[in-house]
Structure formats: C-alpha cells, structure tokens
Amino acid sequence: MSLGGDTLYSIGIDSGSVATKGIVFDGQIIEHIIIPTGWSPKNACEEVLLTLLDKTGIKKEHAFIVATGYGRVSIDFADKTLTEITCHAKGAHFLNNDVRTILDIGGQDSKVIKLDNNGNVVDFLMNDKCAAGTGRFLQVMINLLGSDIKDIDNLTKGAVPESINSMCTVFAESEVISMLANGSSKESVASGILHSIANRIVTLASKVGIEEDIMFTGGLAQSNELTNIISNKLKKKVYTSPLSQLNGAIGAAVIGLNKYKRLKSRM
C-alpha cells in the first residue's frame, strides 16, 4: 500500500467457506465480485484481488486492503485483518443505517449481531459448532432432493412444510430420505428444510434479543421464501439487500477506507 496520490480506494475481501467476496470502495461501491472459494482460500482471495484490480484499473499500491472471514489468516497481502462480526456490523450499517440486528447465515455458521446507532457491535452470538441451519446444510439437503439451490423459492412456494426435527445434518439427511421413501413430496420436504433453518436462526436470535430494524444477510438471504418464513416466525419485518451476500466484504472495505483516511491525515 502507498499513501501517495489523492484518490482513496479500499478493497474488502471476505474469505468464506463456500464463497469469496470482494469489494472496491471509495465511499461508494465501485466494483464487486463473488467466486467459489474452492479448496484453497488463499488462491480464491488472490483471484478476487487480481480481478478487482483488472476491472477497475486500480494499482494494488493505491488501495488499502482489509481481509475478513474464516480464511483471512491466509491472505498475506492484506494491510489489515478483522473478524467477520465487526465487518458484518459495518456492512449492514452502510447498507441500511437503521439496522440494529443482523441475522447472518453463512456456509458453515450462523450468527446474530446487535448494533448501536454507529454500526458498532453491542452483542453477538455465533453457532459454528454444527452445520445444521447453514448454507452447507441446505446444499446437502437440496442435493438429496435432486434439485438446485437456485430453484429453492420456486420449489417451496405455496408448499405445506414437512416437520424436520433432527438437529444434526447427518440425522436430518436420514429423516429426509425416510420422508421421501414414505411418499412426501419434494416440495413439502424442501419447505420443511427452510422452516428448519429459520427455526435455528430464530432460536439463536431469541438468546441475544431482537431490536428493529432487522437485516438478513448471507447467501441464503437471496431466498425470498426463507426471508418471509423468518419474518413470520419473528412476527417482525426482516429486510434484505441485493448485496446481502457481500455484507462482510462491504464492512471490511468501509473500515479500510476510514483507516486509510486516518493514515493520510497524519502525513
């Protein structure tokens, strides 16, 4: 990183278990990218950085790079690394500064974060001990149904959900197989899976406490059906954003720009 020049750029990279996300930011989002993480978080992060630099024409030395996510320790080119809790808070605050509670469902974990008026973390709770209720859980279950996760809303819309009781992915898989063998429809089982995921994040939220406004983030926030199910269970409005999957990277970039400006002001 170089502090020369007048233009300030910040790059936020969120290294997730399923997807790696990147943002170029100068007070507004200039460019973004999402790619599969694959077997090497480091390689995925390098690809994200090179793609963003190529698309924008920005030189690496003219940007402040902040890394977050579970693979952040492998990003040796970052100027700063931060926990995803901090970055998700700042990202949600940037997308909607009225947000006070974040419900985030990632590939391998789920978390509930409470914010103050400035987007700082007040309290949080994370479930990273079990894959049930995460994006990985949904992917496994949808594969069992012979469907694609992209079709989840069409598959479940209007379906009466089956009740899935198992709290473990392995046992839930056996439960789904038994349901299908006993004649349950693919649609009702898929709806039951979404309700199971919603129950887990709502239970987690109840332990932290909910304050409005509420934002649902992560890849699964792209599902209108899941968003509506969570909203109905909470009996509260739940907001999402088209950029919800990028939330951690956005927060990293916002923090990076603020840090970059502070460094420049000392020169």
Is 60 exceeded by the pLDDT of residue 145? yes
Give the domain extent around 137. 98-240
> What's the pLDDT tens digit per position in 205-261?
999 999 999 999 999 999 999 999 999 999 999 999 999 999 999 999 999 999 888
Instruction: Give the count of domains, the chain.
Output: 2
203 shares a domain with 145: yes
CATH number of the domain residue 4 falls in? 3.30.420.40
Same domain for 198 and 260, yes or no, is no
Rounded Cα gap, residues 134 and 178, in angstroms? 22
| Same domain? 234 vs 154 | yes
- Identify the three-state secondary structure at position 248: helix
Do 232 and 258 lie in a common domain? no
Distance (Å, whole) CA 253 – CA 13:
8
Distances (CA, A) of 244 to 34, 93, 102: 12, 12, 11
What confidence score (pLDDT) does residue 128 get? 66
For residue 54, what is the DSSP state? Answer: H
End-to-end Cα distance, the chain: 14
Answer whether residue 4 shows pLDDT above 60: no
Q: What is the CA radius of gyration of the chain?
A: 19
**Confidence check: pLDDT of 266 > 90:** no
- State whether 91 and 113 are in the same domain: no
Residue 138 pLDDT greater than 60, yes or no: yes
Same domain flag for 109 and 223: yes
227 shares a domain with 160: yes
Q: What percent of the chain has pLDDT over 70?
A: 96
Give mean pLDDT, residues 184-200: 94
User: pLDDT, tens digit, for every residue of 28-73?
Assistant: 999 999 999 999 999 999 999 999 999 999 999 899 999 999 899 9
- Across the beta sheet with 29-36, the strand order is 29-36, 19-25, 9-15, 63-68, 80-81
